[in-house]
Amino acid sequence: MSALISRVTAAAGGAAAVTAVGSFLAVRGDLTLDVGWGRTRRPLGPFGVDIAAPQQVVFTVIADPYLARTPHAMAAKLQVIERGSDMVLAAHHTHLNKRLRATTVETVRFARPDLVAFRLVRGPVPGVTETFQLSATGTGTRLA
């Protein structure tokens, strides 16, 4: 009987270890599990904000860390893997605590001066698309 209890305990410990490692890898974005159960696509917006700056300036502030040189202050959070004239492949790093960091890899497409579009390639969720639509207003720029 004690041998059976030992096997059950070992199996439970092994399952707990596999679950812990799997959860750790999923949070970091190294493991994506897409079982397709219960998925519904929903828009999270649209959301918008008015910015008191010209449309071209707002676009440049958003696009320059990707298309030009990434500023030193953003180096721990943004890594441009491949840079083109109107699209980049970039890794975004989010520190969750002292030791755990989530990483998403996205394509970022630019259509000056109106649009910045993000599409998730790799990360802890199955799929995300996001667009920043810029339009000029009488007092500056509307980012939607």
- Do 51 and 113 belong to one domain? yes
Confidence bin at 42 (pLDDT 50/70/90): confident
Look at residue 91 and tell me if it is in a domain.
yes
pLDDT per residue over 109-139, tens digit each?
Answer: 999 999 999 999 988 777 788 999 999 999 9
Task: Tell me: do 93 and 132 sit in the same domain.
Answer: yes
| CA distances, 116 to each of 66, 109, 129, 133, 134 (Å) | 11, 6, 11, 7, 8
For residue 19, the enclosing domain spans 1-31
Q: Which two tokens stand for residue 127?
A: 């799929």
Kindly report whether the global pTM for this prediction surpasses the value 0.85: no
- Whether 16 and 55 map to the same domain: the answer is no
